[in-house]
Every structure is written in structure tokens, then in C-alpha cells.
Amino acid sequence: MRRLAPLLTLVLLAACSQPDPEQSAADVEQEIALVEQANNAPPPVREIVPEAIGGPDMMQHQLSGEGCNYAPGTSLGARVLAGPQDAWMKIDGKMTRFAADAGAQQLAAGSWNRYLGAGYELQLALDDDPSDHHHDGTITLRDPHGRVVYRGAGYAQCTGD
């Protein structure tokens, strides 16, 4: 029996060291799931800082008439021009157009509370108590993954309402 003890120990160790096919398959599936999750993760949030829309921008894109101009904080430089058909922001030096969402709620001066463009969603809000066509307004821009990339609150001037 003493001779069999070392042999039995070796057999048991050999059995323990052989991989369990079911466990190996589960490990591989878990690793694949982790890689897929990493590949499907959205890119890092890229915050956007819209620039003031100037007269030359407005002339180039023929932006006049009914609508609302949103300026954050105490700035007088409009960051959003919102009208009946579309809204505009200047992002990275380029004028970016957003189309009015057909299911949006109408705001003052023919503007809307939601515009869509290039995968982004622009949401606008106005207070209910304007004084001489001047409102407190809020701008929220969401990226294609629904994350807020810009939020500003301040002065909104609406013409044509």
C-alpha cells in the first residue's frame, strides 16, 4: 500500500492539472464578452463650446426673420439661432444646421424645443414670462449617445412672436 500512495498522489495531481473543457469554454466566452463590451463602448465625451454667431455668418446662411437668439450667461453673442424650420450653432468654426423635429413643442417666435442634426440633439427651453420679447433660455446639446456635451443658460431674444 505504501507503494501505491505516491502513485495515487501523482494520478490525483494529473487529474487536477488537466483543463476542464467546460470551464475553458466559459472562460473564453467571458473574455469574448469583455472584448465585445469594450468595442461597443461609446467614445469619450467630447464637450462642445459653441462660438458666437456673427453678422457675416448670418449673412452667409441668410439667417434672419422670425425666431429666437440664445446667448449664455451675460454674453450678448448668440450661440443658437432657432427658427421655424431650423436652428444653427457655430461649432469648431463651422456653422452647423439642426432641423426642427416634427414632434417638438412649439416655443416663442415659431421656434421649437427640439432640433436634430448630424447625430446631435439640440434642446431649447424658454421661461413662460417674457418681458418685451426677452426670455430666460436654456440650451442643451446631446451627442449621438445621448450624453450632454453642452449646456448653457442665459438670455434669449425672440422676434416675430
pLDDT digits (tens, 9 = 90+) for 54-110: 999 999 999 999 999 999 987 889 999 999 999 999 999 999 999 999 999 999 999
Q: How confident is the model at residue 33 (pLDDT cuts 50, 70, 90)?
A: confident
- Cβ neighbors of 107 (< 8 A, separation 6 or more) are 68, 82, 113, 124, 125, 126, 158
Residue among 122, 124, 115 nearest 142 (CA): 122
Same domain membership, residue 74 and residue 12: no
On the question of pLDDT at 17 being above 60, the answer is no
On the question of pLDDT at 11 being above 70, the answer is no
Question: Residue 32 is part of which domain span?
Answer: 4-40
Distance CA 70, CA 137 (A): 7
Same domain membership, residue 144 and residue 74: yes
Helix (H) or strand (E) holding 22: helix 21-40
Distance CA 108, CA 126 (A): 8
Same domain membership, residue 13 and residue 63: no
Same domain membership, residue 20 and residue 72: no
Same domain membership, residue 65 and residue 130: yes
Same domain membership, residue 59 and residue 30: no
For the chain, the straight-line distance linking the first and the last C-alpha, in angstroms and rounded, comes to 102
Structural domains of the chain, count: 2
Same domain membership, residue 139 and residue 93: yes
